[in-house]
Amino acid sequence: MILLLKPYQRIPGILIAVLGATVAVGLLDLGGSAGVKVLGALPQGLPTFAVPWIGLADIGTVVLGGCAVALVSFADTSVLSRTYAARTRTFVDPNQEMIGLGAANLAAGFFQGFPISSSSSRTPVAEASGARTQVTGIVGAVAVALLLVLAPDLLRNLPTSALAAVVIASAIGLFEFADLRRILRIQRWEFWLSIACFAGVAVLGAIPGIGLAIAIAVIEFLWDGWRPHSAVLGRVDGIRGYHDISRYPEGRLVPGLVLFRWDAPLFFANAELFQDRVLQAVAAAPRPVRRVVVAAEPVTSVDVTSADVLAELEQTLRTAGIELHFAEMKDPVKDKLKRFELLELFGPDVFHPTVGAAVDAYVAEHAVDWET
């Protein structure tokens, strides 16, 4: 009934279906004679304020359960928000959503309420019913409150299968098969990642499945950061700046200078690889190298391990008579190097605001015959 009436916007198909199912169950006494599960009478009255004190023995259970609920709520809210933001072409502030959910759950805790999230069932139901703004939630809350106070027995014959039908019919629109086909076409490994996450939720359950999805996403992030792209830069005629010579084989290298770009943060997983690639770039240079300039604009962070590797690299290059400089390094990264006591090791003159400035400084200091 819901699906048949869905094309007719002016006909409240969900309301008609729910009322029809409730009347049929009540008139035919299907709840008693046929064993149809019904909602039953609701508790009368509004929940009362109570401070949720718990004993020490319950803290472990509450913390674990709370973390699981928070994880599910976060995943539910973030996915649903992005889906509807893309569909309605509106902006969603994830931080504001988390603040709203936190405040709502804090209030619910003092009134013995259920944990709250932007439910992937209620939202499609509200949209299918014609909701357009957040006022729908307020109207729904007031209606539920009036129902609890004035008519708690009104829905006692409402079959739970009818509620399930409402959710299923409304949530069908959340299946993004077209997006899956697009992901399979443009990034196959992300398609299989999404399928693995879906299978984890379907086989293991919501909480273990979401945990598995997060673990896979973290592993994928670390994998990308572990083996990032790097490049030796050269000057390409007709194009401003310095570019990857593997993409522009005609690019001209500055004699005695290696411009090396590292396209990732520096951290424990990739620090050794960074050092190896710098040394490989030096070894592959067509002329003896006097200076290495790391184009560090993509480097957004360094950790203690990578700082130690930088110090080791500087010592290795210095022993070989090669200077180590940096270009376009962000101030927060330089602040970290200062805390790691590397600025004193490198000296203040090894940092350049741009790659072009680093090249100009090298050409001037070493009297290199070079035309930009």
Query: pLDDT tens across 264-290, in order?
Result: 999 998 999 999 999 999 999 999 999
Is residue 120 over pLDDT 80?
Answer: no
In a domain, 371, yes or no: no
For residues 39 and 262, the model is more confident at 262
Residues spanned by the domain of 272 = 230-366
- What digits encode the pLDDT tens for the residues 312-363? 999 999 999 999 999 999 999 999 999 998 988 888 889 999 999 999 999 9
Last residue of a domain, one of 158, 174, 190: 174
Is residue 256 over pLDDT 90?
Answer: yes
CA dist 235 and 371 (Å) reads: 10
Phi/psi zone of residue 44: left (φ > 0), alpha (ψ -120 to 50 degrees), beta? beta
Residue appearing with tokens 């130690």: 308
In a domain, 110, yes or no: yes
Beta-carbon-side half-sphere exposure of residue 157 (alpha carbons within 13 Å): 17
Last residue of a domain, one of 142, 159, 174: 174
Is residue 88 over pLDDT 80?
Answer: no
> Average pLDDT in the 255-269 region?
93
Strand partners, 260: 232, 294
pTM: 0.62
Q: How many CB atoms lie within 10 A of CB 246?
A: 12
Q: Using the 8-state DSSP alphabet, how is residue 9 labeled?
A: T
Q: What is the mean pLDDT of the chain?
A: 87
20 & 158 share domain: yes
Q: At 332, which CATH number?
A: 3.30.750.24
C-alpha distance from residue 56 to each of 53, 61, 105, 113 (Å): 10, 10, 22, 22
Alpha-carbon torsion, ordered 216, 222, 224, 226, to 10 deg: -150
The percentage of residues in the chain with a pLDDT greater than 70, rounded to a whole number, is 98
For residues 173 and 348, the model is more confident at 348
| pLDDT in the model for residue 372 | 63
For residues 255 and 53, the model is more confident at 255
Is residue 93 over pLDDT 90?
Answer: no
Is residue 130 over pLDDT 80?
Answer: no
CA dist 294 and 308 (Å) reads: 16
109 & 78 share domain: yes
> Average pLDDT in the 140-157 region?
88
262 & 208 share domain: no
169 & 302 share domain: no
93 & 215 share domain: no
Strand partners, 194: none
- What digits encode the pLDDT tens for the residues 181-197? 888 898 888 888 888 88
Alpha-carbon torsion, ordered 176, 177, 182, 187, to 10 deg: 90
212 & 307 share domain: no
In a domain, 149, yes or no: yes
Phi/psi zone of residue 293: left (φ > 0), alpha (ψ -120 to 50 degrees), beta? beta
Cβ burial, residue 95 (10 Å; 0-12/13-18/19+): exposed
CB 274 within 8 A of CB 301: no
32 & 90 share domain: yes
212 & 287 share domain: no
| pLDDT in the model for residue 277 | 96
